[in-house]
Amino acid sequence: MKTISRTKFNCIGSMLEAAKKFGVKVEIMHEEKNLRIFHKNGKSIFVKGHIPDLNSFISSKIVDDKGLTKCILEKNKVPTPRGWIMKNYKKTLEMIDNGKMKFPLVVKPIDGSQGQAVIVGIKNKEILIKSIKEVYKHNRRKKGRPNSFLIEEYILGDDYRILVLDGKVLTTILRKPAYVVGDGMKTIRELIDEYNGQKGVSKDQPLCPIVRDFEFEKNLIENKITENTIPKKNKIVYLRKNANVSTGGRSFECNSRVNPKYKKLAIKLAKIFKIRFCTVDLIAPNINKYEKFSIIELNESPGFDIHEVPFAGKSFPVAEHLVKAMFK
């Protein structure tokens, strides 16, 4: 398999390379808005950024809404963390006092992406209130539902992302939260800056910078360390609990280890949501065993760079399969 340079890769470029390989003409409709039309055999398909027009508008809107997605998962008796759509943190505190909601918890925006304002493993009311306020800030920035948030029970396990296209699983990755590896000399701050400063680490690359935000700060406090702490040599220090690659996590291809039942479930979910191209995110203690897992969400416009160029493991030519699917 051809080795792809991580420092030169991006999803849009991969789509254009795939188009060229399969004789697809590409017309730029609006460069600033990243809108193109791919033409072949009299058929034309819009591509916005790296996402082709494969999924229906309604299906995409449903999957984008984490609360609605959770509702559909529950109705289909698919394991998913218990969750509540809330509009008032005082009501949330009342539910905790009444025993209807128990720590540890996760707070996230209802309409969110890339791990932004996702606070994981909340253990007390003080952090809960601060976490909700972080979601409020995110909502204001993104012009989302101003005082709404999703709160879920916290599920222990590893974070997996299964990529589905037209009823088939293409590949699977394990996502690990942002971390640094000690050398016995540098502080955590120095190790982060060293990692973030290396060639190939950028927001538009498969390796994204480690983000310093509220989730990051909370995790340091919980682990009783600071950015001035010097980790021992070869010690792995995880800097957050959410494993989104966009906040500094890393992807490890693991498709051959996935229990076939997970793949069947991912395909089934794509059919339930009537969506052609998506990822299915799940938490499981062991991807070899079909047990004790929870489906977290689906993503209808996934960045596939972490599948084409994982941090470790086999790369998968997602763009080529997308272009083929566009002109079936």
Measured CA to CA, the distance from residue 65 to residue 73 in angstroms comes to 12
pLDDT at 311: 94
Phi, psi of 46 (to 5 degrees): -70, 140
Bridge partner list, 25: 39
Looking at domain 82-154, its CATH superfamily turns out to be ATP-grasp fold, A domain (3.30.1490.20)
Residue ranges of the chain assigned to CATH 3.30.1490.20: 82-154
Give, for all 328 residues of the chain, the pLDDT tens digit.
Answer: 344 445 557 899 999 999 999 999 999 999 999 999 999 999 999 999 999 999 999 999 999 888 899 999 999 999 999 999 888 888 999 999 999 999 999 998 887 556 678 899 999 999 999 999 999 888 887 666 667 898 999 999 999 999 999 999 999 999 999 999 999 999 999 999 999 999 889 887 889 999 999 999 999 999 999 999 999 999 999 999 999 999 999 999 999 999 999 999 999 999 999 999 999 999 999 999 999 999 999 999 999 999 999 999 999 999 999 999 999 8
> Position 230: which residue type?
I
Q: What is the per-residue pLDDT for 81?
A: 95
pLDDT number for residue 2: 40
At residue 113, the pLDDT reads 59
- Helix, strand, or coil (residue 319): helix
- Residue 39 in tokens: 């033409």
Look up tokens 């999957």; give the residue.
Answer: 63
> Amino acid identity of 171?
T
- Output DSSP code: residue 257: G
